[in-house]
Amino acid sequence: MIELKTKQYRQVTFSLALGSFLVFCNLYLFQPMLPYMATHFEVTETQVNWVFAASTLALSVSLVPWAVASESIGRRKVMLIGLLAMPFIGFAMLSSDSIITIVILRAMMGIALAAFASVAVAYMVEELSAKAFSQAIGGYIAANSLGGITGRIVGGTLTDALGWQQAVICMAIFTLLGGMVVVFSLPKQNNFTPQRGMLRYHNRALIKHLQNKTIWIAMLIGGVNFALFVNLYSVMGFRLVAAPHNLPIGLASLIFVCYLSGTLSSKLTSVWSKHHQSVSGMITGTMISLLGMLVAYVDHLSFMMLGLVLISFGAFFTHTLAYAWVSQKATHAKATATALYLVHYYVGGSIGGFFLIYCWQHGGWEYVIAGGSLLYSAIFVLCRKLSHWEEHEPRTLDSAILAPNSKLEAK
């Protein structure tokens, strides 16, 4: 197993962080463009949301198949296939100015993104010691947020200055170059044994993961948390470009700098886990995020930005703890477990967009608060249930994270 502060540890964490950065740059590239695309293609806000939702939905349904494939051909190979396919799908978007074609290609992009996202954490669990993993997972998710920030700001500012096609081609070139760096820097796996004919095994594993309430409830928490987090940003984008603010797309996209608070909070989860229970951390993160939505009600830019900072900090804190919970609690088929978590995560993000944007269209931020409050209440209920079921588990997530010599079963 790879230990902290070794050369291989630095190679693994750098390569996976860069790959994660590229994945989330591409996933969120179009989110700040949604108001522009709605005007450009003359569609409603709910209809244009398909440009974003197509990639997240396709990603969600592709995660488990990629995870199953990785059991036979290896995690590294699956990640690189997806990473190198991404720029070519981006180039293909330049061939058409049809909204339907863009939605289809965004769905294909989601399939490619899923290849990396579905097995990266499983790769870390298998190759890194428990202590090294507990440090690396925070950095990996921090790279997620940095990628999300960069992709959104690049998408918004370049679209505003040059057009959406130029934003896409710049991202495609950057992804191609970054993908080649990952190809040459990501170490081969030493603690992975390929297994073929595993489809039936993983079908059973999926059922067992869903039957394990301590795992499934954490997956539901991740899905509802993401439904709120990512789509409160989408709604805020529509809010800022509309009256009375009337901000240009490029300037409105700078709201995603608020994601940096999520980068910080994802790193702080390892500190939290040393002194507190993970479930209490999920509750704390959700309360901070809820506070952010309420603060953003004040129709002044400073309060709206403060609200987004709190939303990001709390949502990433909850997400990191829930994600680590699933990867550690799964005693078998870990790649399938983490992929199944992400299925819930991105399905939540896709469905939540239509729900919260619908609230925005019909009642402004007041209706968004009403709809969002229902989702936050659901998270609190799920956390209570998770806490109850954890009490019946002989070994907690926190002890698994903090035991440096624990042998985490990889399959």
pLDDT at 295 > cutoff 90: yes
Model pTM score: 0.84
Mean pLDDT computed over 169-198: 89
* Rounded-to-integer distance, Cα 271 and Cα 276, Å: 9
| Listed residue (344, 122, 61, 328) closest to 226, CA to CA | 344
Look at residue 198 in the predicted model and tell me its pLDDT: 62
Give yes or no for a contact between 245 and 301, defined as CB atoms under 8 angstroms apart: yes
Paired strand residues for 128 = 2
> From the CB of residue 57, how many other CB atoms can be counted at a distance below 10 Å?
19
Domain boundaries, the chain: 7-402
Count CB atoms within 10 A of the CB of residue 253: 27
CA 18 vs CA 85, 136, 385: distances in Å: 16, 13, 36
Token pair for 209 = 């993961």
Render pLDDT for 56-70 as a digit per residue (tens, 0 to 9).
Answer: 999 999 988 888 888
d(CA 16, CA 180): 13
336-357 average pLDDT score = 90
The pLDDT of residue 99? 92
- For the cut 80, the answer to whether the pLDDT of residue 398 exceeds it is no
Mean per-residue pLDDT over the chain, rounded: 89
Provide the token pair at 75.
């995690």
| Record: fold of 7-402 | Growth Hormone; Chain: A; (1.20.1250)
Q: What is the pLDDT of residue 239?
A: 96
